[in-house]
Amino acid sequence: MSLRNLFAGWVILAAAFGLIALVLLGFTARKVETLSVEQSRAHQIAREVSSLLALTHEYILHREERAEQQWRRRYATLMHELGLKGEPGRGAQADLHDALRALPELFDGLIRASSSGVQDSLTLRRSELLIDRLLTETQAISESAFQWESQATEARAIIERRLITSAISLPALLSLLFASSAWLLARRVLRPIGAIQQATAIAAAGNLAVRCNSQAQDEVGDLARGFDHMANELQLRTQSIQAAEAFLRNITDNLPIRIAYVDRDMRYRFVNKRHCERFARPREEIVGKTFDELHGQAANPELISHVRAALAGEKSTFEFTEDIHGRSACIESSLIPDIAMDGMVKGFFSTGVDITERRRQRAELESALKEKEVLLSEVHHRVKNNLQVISSLLQLQSTGIEGAEARELFAESQNRIRSMALIHEKLYQSHDFAQVDFADYVQSLVRMLQASQGGHEAHPAIQVRTAPMTIDIDRAIPAGLILNELVSNCFKHGFPNGRTGHIDVTLALCNGDQATLTVKDDGIGVAADFDPSATDSLGLRLVQMLTDQIGGTLCFEHKQGFSCELVFAGRQHRSPSPV
Amino acid sequence: MSLPVYVAEAEGYFANENLSVRITDCQFGRLCLGQLLEGKAALCTVADLPIVFASFTSDRFRILSTLTTNRSDAKIVTRKSGDVHTPLDLRGKKVGVAVGTSAHYFLDSVALLSGLDPASIRLVNLGAGEMTSELIARRVDALSAFEPFAFDAAKALGNDASVLSTSRTYTLHWNVVAVRDILATNDRELEGLLRALDRAIRLIHSDPARAKAVLKARLALDDDAVAWVWPDLVFELGLTQSLIKTMEGEARWALRSGYAQGREPNYLRYIHDGPLHRAKPGSVAIVR
């Protein structure tokens, strides 16, 4: 039975009981009042009848007129009392009424016998009988009146006892009813709720295996089963969360970094195994402790400032050195603020990586690299020196050669060797042994070629325009040789017999990575049927070969002077990035 | 008149009071009192007049309580077709009566109260079994008889029966009388006896049909007889002053009529009210 129905029934029962009790009390009280009135009336009648009896005796003794008048007045009063208020036909009152009606006849007979003056035996006997009957009847009436009063008194006493019994028993019954309802409340509601409360406290303490196991088929039973279901679900989810937490902890514990979470009160909420090792304490002694409790006054001031910055919402990465188990370690730490949706910083995530070994390895690498750079620079330096030695040797040999043509061949070879040596020079001077600053190289090479023409009387003016560009050594040397051939040809063939003019050397970058090297002069030019692919000139053949080597294209034009444009895969000049 | 005794026996009230009561039926109360005085019974129920007669010759009994009163036990039965229609019509008429009984006392009282000299009535002394037949045979003009003989006569006359109006002329007291010898030693038993009778009276009041059934079974009465007597019967245990007055009047009548000799007794001496006081407090109205 549901508690709602049970308590509704109880309330209805109590209300009905209370109503019945009130009706009974009211009825009884009214009955008491009625009987009280009847008792009073019976008492009054009895007193009147007693007076009537006394007057009867008085009249019998003295035959006085006054006694007769009073007797009749008293009788009339009695009849009036009984006639007005009486209820003939009801017990003692009815008897009383009937008896009283017989009295006047006896009294009148006595008066007649007394006043007749006859004193014979018959009259005396008759008078005597009348007196006997009158006294007997009046006595009987008096007894009836007192009996009536007695009955009324007894009835009133009975009803008053009933009233008192009701007055005592009704509160007792009501108390019993309330005690029963209290017992029912305790048994069906308070005790089960107490059990649920106890189970809730146990669950709140962490023991989610607790169950109420209620068998009650009411609302509290439903509540207990709801609690059991909730506890079961909570237990399953907690187990799932604990498994996930264990999984995550396993992951974080096995990562070679420190991971921690610190709330805005600077209290540790999470630490992984590596972080525990930092404090040489188990996890349980760290989680819940504050930053100050764990670090004490000896905390690194720099670390403190970064922590404050993180709590202010700033992300930071920094390195610091600390002593771990007697070993000095370099830690790279990142503090990432945990910012809530409302912008408030709830805490920060902390990661720490021991980079001591990495720094050592980097230092070793840097040292090895430096050593290699020095060696490479030395190699380029020596190659350049060797090429210069070769050029000097050719110079020495050319002095002993007869014929200008032969000497010129030597000079051309010297220029070609120097153009290559210039590449190595630029390399070891630049400290970038993979890329050559080709713009600088073009400027230097053109100046060197111009300087090598010092024996000529007249010089064409040379204008060099270069866009910043670096290219690797594999293409720099062929491209340098091509430029050397083209500029040397301009000096050699473009301006004979002291002709003056201009030579323009342009290095440009097209389409992002296409280098365009243009050598143009306004000299005498070439014959109209000039075919660079069919020429037997070593220089031009060399240009053709080197262009193919670097995958470039050549384009000649000779309408006004000579112009050659080499296009090859180049590379835009970049500022060197730090290692 | 003795119905409470029968009811108490039938309902086992005597047994409840640990009393062993053996009842012996008599035709008249006078005979019952005679058996008591002869030592054949310890208790009897009897009307007031036999007590009065006995009181002139014996002091061996005591009245314990009035059991029943009846204002109309004695009746004057006549024929409608006859010459007697009022008490005054009795003058010179032959009236059948058991001389020296309450019916005789009643007849004298009716005559005196009506202004008639009782001596002017021609009394015909009849036995119990003669009354109805004498009236039917018109050998008497009227009967003065107590129950159940008045009923028998009226029933025999049928529609011709007439009962004169004589209400409240005489109130018969039917009493419980005990032999004096047992009073001192058996007061507790007498108290129990009266308590059983009072309980029977309460049953008569609360369940009249059941009481009437006992009455019919005990006295072999039919419904008409019960219906005839029942309205006049007042069952109530008590000792009232009217009993004394009635007996005193009857004693004077007996002396005057010559049915008794000696001095008028003091009837207070014949009252033993102790058991009734205890069995039914408040029911004794006689001051001794």
* Nearest chain B residue to A130, by CA: B113
pLDDT in tens, B23-72: 998 888 889 999 999 999 999 999 999 999 999 999 999 999 999 999 88
Whether residue B86 lies within 8 A of chain A, CB to CB, comes out as: no
Among B116, B139, B163, where does a domain finish?
Answer: B163
pLDDT attached to residue A456 = 53
At residue A107's C-alpha, the angle toward residues A105 and A111, to 5°, is: 115
Query: How many CB atoms neighbour CB A66 within 10 A?
Result: 11
CATH number for B155: 3.40.190.10
What residues of A are in contact with residue B240 (Cβ under 8 Å)? 139-140, 143
Does B79 share its domain with B64? no
Does B152 share its domain with B126? yes
pLDDT attached to residue A579 = 32
Whether residue B264 lies within 8 A of chain A, CB to CB, comes out as: no
Structural domain includes residue B249: yes
Does B59 share its domain with B190? yes
pLDDT in tens, B214-236: 999 888 888 988 998 898 899 99
Does B35 share its domain with B82? no
Q: Specify the residue for token string 């009424």.
A: A97
Structural domain includes residue B190: yes
Contact A139 B168 (CB under 8 A): no
Whole-number Å distance between alpha carbons of A60 and A148: 27
Query: How many CB atoms neighbour CB A239 within 10 A?
Result: 11
Contact A129 B113 (CB under 8 A): yes
Structural domain includes residue B288: no
Contact B109 A130 (CB under 8 A): no
Does B91 share its domain with B145? yes
Report how many Cβ contacts below 8 Å link chain A to chain B.
52
pLDDT in tens, B48-62: 999 999 999 999 999
* CATH architecture label of A255-354: 2-Layer Sandwich (3.30)
Does B9 share its domain with B101? no
Please give the residue range of the domain that contains residue B26.
3-71+171-279
pLDDT in tens, B67-110: 999 988 899 999 999 888 999 999 999 999 998 888 999 999 99
Cα dist from A461 to A446, A499, B88, whole Å: 11, 11, 199
Among B125, B145, B163, where does a domain finish?
Answer: B163
C-alpha dihedral, B13 to B14 to B18 to B24, nearest 10°: -160
pLDDT attached to residue A535 = 80
Among B130, B163, B196, where does a domain finish?
Answer: B163
Query: How many CB atoms neighbour CB A163 within 10 A?
Result: 18
Domain count, chain B: 2
pLDDT attached to residue B92 = 92
pLDDT attached to residue A89 = 47
Whether residue B68 lies within 8 A of chain A, CB to CB, comes out as: no
What residues of B are in contact with residue A90 (Cβ under 8 Å)? none
Does B114 share its domain with B91? yes
Whole-number Å distance between alpha carbons of A213 and A230: 13
B88: closest CA of chain A, how far (Å): 14
Does B130 share its domain with B205? no
Does B137 share its domain with B21? no
Q: Specify the residue for token string 């006493």.
A: A157
Does B8 share its domain with B38? yes
Does B122 share its domain with B99? yes
Structural domain includes residue B114: yes
pLDDT attached to residue B285 = 85
What residues of A are in contact with residue B49 (Cβ under 8 Å)? none
Helix (H/G/I), strand (E/B), else coil: A290: strand
Contact B245 A109 (CB under 8 A): no
Output the CATH code of domain A3-178. Answer: 1.20.120
Judging by beta carbons within 10 Å of its beta carbon (0-12, 13-18, 19+), is residue A396 exposed, middle or buried? exposed
Question: Domain A436-579 has what CATH class?
Answer: alpha beta
What residues of A are in contact with residue B267 (Cβ under 8 Å)? none
* Nearest chain B residue to A99, by CA: B168
Contact A129 B249 (CB under 8 A): yes
State the complex-level ipTM: 0.82
Tens of each residue's pLDDT in chain A, 579 residues = 677 888 888 888 888 888 888 888 888 888 888 888 888 888 888 888 888 888 888 888 888 888 899 999 989 888 888 775 545 445 566 777 778 888 888 888 888 887 877 778 888 888 888 888 888 888 888 888 887 888 888 888 888 888 888 888 888 888 888 888 888 888 888 888 998 999 999 988 988 889 988 888 888 888 999 999 999 999 999 899 989 988 988 999 999 899 999 999 999 999 999 888 888 889 999 999 998 888 876 667 888 889 889 999 999 999 888 887 788 889 899 999 999 999 999 999 999 998 998 889 999 999 998 888 888 888 888 998 999 899 888 888 888 888 888 888 888 888 889 888 988 888 888 777 888 899 999 999 999 888 887 655 557 889 999 999 888 888 999 999 999 999 988 888 888 888 888 999 999 988 878 899 999 999 888 877 778 778 878 888 889 999 999 999 999 887 788 899 999 987 655 544 433
**Quick one: CA dihedral A476, A478, A482, A488, positive or negative?**
positive
Does B175 share its domain with B273? yes
